[in-house]
Amino acid sequence: MRIYLDHNATTPTDPSVVAAMTNVLGEQFGNASSLHSFGQAAKIIVDDARADVAGLIGAGPQEIVFTSGGTESDNLAIRGIAEALLPTKRRHLIATSIEHEAVLHTLTALAKRDWIATLLPVDGSGVVDPQALEAVITDDTALVSVMHANNEIGTIQPLAVLAAIAHRHGAIFHTDAVQSIGKMKVNVTDLDVDLLSLSAHKCYGPKGVGALWIRRGSRLVQTMTGGKQERNRRAGTENVPGIAGLGTAARLALQRTETEADRIAALRDILEAGILRRVSGTLINGDPTRRISNTTNISFDRVEAESLLIALDLEGIAVSTGSACSSGTLQPSHVLRAMGYSSHRAQNSIRFSLGTRNTAAEIDRVIDVLPNLVDKLRNTARASSVLTQQSSLDGG
Ligand code: PLP
């Protein structure tokens, strides 16, 4: 039995998405900008997908710009707004210290040029305090970017409250909703945001395609220059198969998010309770209630997370240590560090992120397998520290 518990890294492509994309790849090769019938057939596919993505977040189709994924959407939002406001005095950008690298590194790049960047702190459960935003925002702030749900711990931010503060100061509010789309209801009016990033592969669609929702009337400078595609907001021939896949994934998400979220949350809670009960020295990282339905992040005292990940993988169980983009390095997670955790606790944490295909039997198996693996790793660590002490006593 192979068990996939890394849905925040990427999701399996839904069979209906594969079918829609295969059809477009095989049959609908037209360029959506061409005036002939082949082009018009492709344009209909792109427009239908635009309506599906808009429908998922309660937006208008003309406000959706297709991109190559969450990273590009974040870049377009932040760089596009910053550049558009360059002629004004608004040169200040604010984000949280737990954003994805797509936001953090974009701010770092802009801070080397004409902009000033401020990162907001979070509390011990990963939530931004609105007072912290009040304390740093000024009438020179151009943009505030706060992610909806965090990819490592799943914590959900109070976006509407934060957006109201930004708007009071005349700033634009962007959210990276890559991890909340498909896991909870997301509505741009309720959230009161001006720009929203999403990515297809986090909600059972294909990799390499996403969208940025831009509130009608927002001024934004395009970052990809070239042709006039996407109403002059993102140049380049549209990725019609990918966009068809995203549209199908959006339709699916609209139909099943609420019912699936409850089922997945129940499995996540069983997994979490089972681990806390059966494995000593475990702690939940993040907010136990204010979080997306599929995620639990747990620290295992005296266990190197990378070793546990490999041991689980050998048992056919796929999990992650924090964000996929930073694994492969032994840097403790910037998210857990920002929450004030010691580097020890941050380095001992494993993220379990569930999805639509997970079953109760799979969760039972993980709870069965995990205690032994943790015991073995702790014993090995203890034995090697005894050996090290012994060899230093021996002068070795
Ligand atoms: N934002 C968040 C919160 C993410 O989790 C990710 C992916 O891990 C991204 C942005 C980047 O999205 P993409 O992989 O589509 O570029």
pLDDT digits (tens, 9 = 90+) for 193-217: 999 999 999 999 999 999 999 999 9
pLDDT at 384: 77
Among residues 5, 295, 251, 273, the alpha carbon closest in space to that of 148 is found at: 295
Burial readout 186-213 (b: 16 or more C-beta within 10 A, e: otherwise): bebeebbbbbbbbbbbbbbbbbebbbbb
Q: Which atom of ligand 1 approaches the CA of 207 most closely? A: 15
pLDDT class of 383 with cuts at 50, 70, 90: confident
**% the chain with pLDDT above 90:** 90
Distance CA 318, CA 276 (A): 19
Which of 179, 183, 326 gets mutated to test ligand 1 (max ligand atoms within 8 A of its CB)?
179
Catalytic residues: 325
pLDDT at 357: 97
Distance CA 68, CA 87 (A): 28
The yes-or-no verdict on residue 343 having pLDDT over 90 is no
- Once rounded to an integer, what is the mean pLDDT over residues 157-181? 98
pLDDT at 389: 66
pLDDT class of 390 with cuts at 50, 70, 90: low
pLDDT at 322: 62
pLDDT at 324: 47
| DSSP classification of residue 325 | G
- Taking CB atoms within 8 Å and a gap of at least 24, the contacts of 100-103 are 100/70, 100/74, 100/147, 100/151, 100/176, 100/178, 100/323, 100/325, 101/323, 101/325, 101/326, 102/70, 102/71, 102/74, 102/75, 102/176, 103/74, 103/78, 103/145, 103/147, 103/176
The yes-or-no verdict on residue 385 having pLDDT over 80 is no
Mean pLDDT of the chain: 95
Place of tokens 């380095």: 347
pLDDT at 258: 83
The yes-or-no verdict on residue 386 having pLDDT over 90 is no
**% the chain with pLDDT above 70:** 95
Residues 6+ apart with CB under 8 A from 369: 312, 315, 317
The sheet with strand 92-96 has its strands ordered as: 64-67, 210-214, 195-199, 172-176, 141-145, 92-96, 116-120
pLDDT at 325: 47
Pocket around ligand 1: residues whose beta carbon is below 6 Å from it?
Answer: 69-71, 74, 100, 102, 147, 151, 176, 178-179, 199, 201, 210
Between β-strands 3-4 and 317-318, what pairing exists: parallel, antiparallel or unpaired? parallel
Question: For residues 266 and 385, which has the higher predicted lDDT (pLDDT)?
Answer: 266
Q: Which atom of ligand 1 approaches the CA of 150 most closely? A: 3
Kindly report the protein residue whose alpha carbon is nearest to atom 8 of ligand 1.
9
Distance CA 23, CA 83 (A): 39
pLDDT at 205: 98
The yes-or-no verdict on residue 253 having pLDDT over 90 is yes
Percent of the chain that is helix, strand, coil (3-state, to 5): 45, 15, 35
Distance CA 378, CA 304 (A): 9
Q: Which domains does the chain have, with CATH numbers?
A: 15-253 (3.40.640.10), 257-382 (3.90.1150.10)
Q: How far is the CA of 68 from the centre of ligand 1 (A)?
A: 11
Q: Which of 62-66, 280-284, 288-292, 378-382 has the lowest mean pLDDT?
A: 378-382
